[in-house]
Amino acid sequence: MASTLMRTTPALRGALRSRAMKPAAAMASTTFVRGKATLPDMPYDYGALEPHISGQIMELHHSKHHQTYVNGLNSALDSIAEAEGKGDYTKAASLAPLLNFHGGGHLNHSLFWENLAPASRDGGGEPDGALKKAIDADFGSFDTFRKQMNTALAGIQGSGWAWLAKDKSAGNLQLVTRANQDPVTGNLVPLLGIDAWEHAYYLQYQNRKAEYFDAIWNVVNWKTVAERFGKA
């Protein structure tokens, strides 16, 4: 089942990677049972990003919102598998939006937690090395990039994300936005994502979302971004 899904929904392979498979011996048979997507552990305490992002936001965001995407992804995959088992491909295809939404939500948030770090540790500052050079080459300067990212975030209507991504074909960096939980896929490799959903800031910043977009740079983990850039 999972192998079919991985062929038909390449955009969500990342989500499926987190679904533990049966041991190799069990997979030798013609069928195998996939595991469930699970909520990843946070790499820091919920309160560790304060005062820039409150512990209350982080706890709700991770333990409730992200958990809902994990549950929705598992449910969508189960429903698709059931439809597939019955040969009801119309039903399976009709579930694609659910898979995209919850699978994207799981992927995006899994990347997001690792994009952040306490300001007292790896958070904040500016990138250096090859990543800095690439940002300077493609945006002019780090300050210009940050302003463009904040402008992109402010321009998102409704819910969505802004991403710094590397285009594997062209080799350059790009700034892209995605509506709702649409994941960054295809030739684009997501390096840094900032969540512009109200649930990411409203408890602390209310309608002052520009303050959230300014504050989050104090807790961006450039080491993670550089590692992703190096592998892209």
Stretch that binds Fe ion, among 39-47, 83-91, 194-202, 215-223 (CB under 5 A): 194-202
3-state secondary structure of 173: strand
Say if CB 69 and CB 91 are below 8 A apart. Answer: no
Return phi, psi of residue 3, to 5°. -65, -40
CB of 162: closest distance to Fe ion in angstroms? Answer: 13
Tokens of 59: 């706890």
Stretch that binds Fe ion, among 24-32, 77-85, 191-199, 202-210 (CB under 5 A): 191-199
Element (H, E) at 50: none
Q: Is the peptide bond before 118 cis (omega within 30 degrees of 0)?
A: no
Closest-approach residue to Fe ion (CB): 195
Select 48 or 173, whichever has its Cβ closest to Fe ion.
Answer: 48
Q: What mask, x for binding Fe ion by CB under 5 A, covers residues 118 to 157?
A: ----------------------------------------
Q: What mask, x for binding Fe ion by CB under 5 A, covers residues 200 to 229?
A: x-----------------------------
CB of 13: closest distance to Fe ion in angstroms? Answer: 21
Bridge-based pairing state of the strands 173-179 and 160-167:
antiparallel
- Which amino acid is present at 215? A
Longest CA–CA span in the chain (Å) reads 56
Q: What mask, x for binding Fe ion by CB under 5 A, covers residues 44 to 73?
A: ------------------------------
Say if CB 34 and CB 19 are below 8 A apart. Answer: yes
Q: What mask, x for binding Fe ion by CB under 5 A, covers residues 150 to 189?
A: ----------------------------------------
Cα–Cα distances in angstroms (integers) from residue 103 to residues 17, 38, 70, in the given order: 11, 12, 7
Interface pick for Fe ion out of 106, 195, 212, 220 (rule CB under 5 A): 195
Interface pick for Fe ion out of 197, 201, 212, 213 (rule CB under 5 A): 197
Select 197 or 212, whichever has its Cβ closest to Fe ion.
Answer: 197
Bridge-based pairing state of the strands 173-179 and 188-195:
unpaired
114 binds Fe ion (CB under 5 A): no
Say if CB 159 and CB 197 are below 8 A apart. Answer: yes
Q: Which positions lie near Fe ion, rule CB under 5 A?
A: 195, 197, 200
